[in-house]
Amino acid sequence: LPPCYTEKADKRDPVLYLLHGQTYTDDQWIRLGAVDVTNELFLNGEIMPFIIVFPDDHYWNTPAGTTFGSRLVDDLIPYIDQTYRTIPDPRSRAIGGMSRGAGWALNLGLTRPDLFGVIGLHSLAVFQRDSSKVAGWIQAIPAASRPSIFMDIGEKDQELTSAKKIENLFTQYDLPHEWHLYSGAHTDEYWSAHVEEYIRWYAGQWNNP
């Protein structure tokens, strides 16, 4: 929660859902500095306050892993919206992730434009079952509901080829997005080096402080 959450009892905030990578848990983003960076930028007056949720895809290596998306949209989001002072609107609800988490962000962000208006794809690992569906998902999004999208990946990342294919589809179907190719690989070191950039981008989708 933002440092000012308890002080402003009548204020509602946007929500950012950040999804971790495969073999990791819900603390991955915290270890990489997401909370520290967000608090520092807010306290310095550089960004507006928002809530961050770190879902745990702890069934990633079991058959139940395929139900993570339904648990997130059917159970977790309603719980967060009922429990905290959120702005329950897609433009004020972002979903982002790294690696497998970015695969989920791609899936949920494009198939549920009624829930998410902001999508972050960091070192995207596309689910094999999804690769042939992305073009259809893009075309099905109503023009007024097209999301804001940020994509980045390291030039030595093993997922680069598949990520480029998704970026090409975004370009082909004129889906607005940012694309960043940086030095680096599929590692915590790469993501920690870019955490502040990610947080600034998400915050920038909402109003200035």
Per-residue pLDDT tens for 15-64? 999 999 887 778 899 999 999 999 999 999 999 999 999 998 876 666 54
Q: What is the largest CA-CA distance in the chain?
A: 47
Q: Is 194 helix (H, G, I), strand (E, B) or coil?
A: helix
Higher pLDDT pick, 8 / 18: 18
| Mean pLDDT, residues 90-109 taken together | 96
Q: What is the mean pLDDT of the chain?
A: 93
CA atoms of 164 and 159, how far apart (whole Å): 9
| Mean pLDDT, residues 118-135 taken together | 96
CA atoms of 98 and 153, how far apart (whole Å): 10
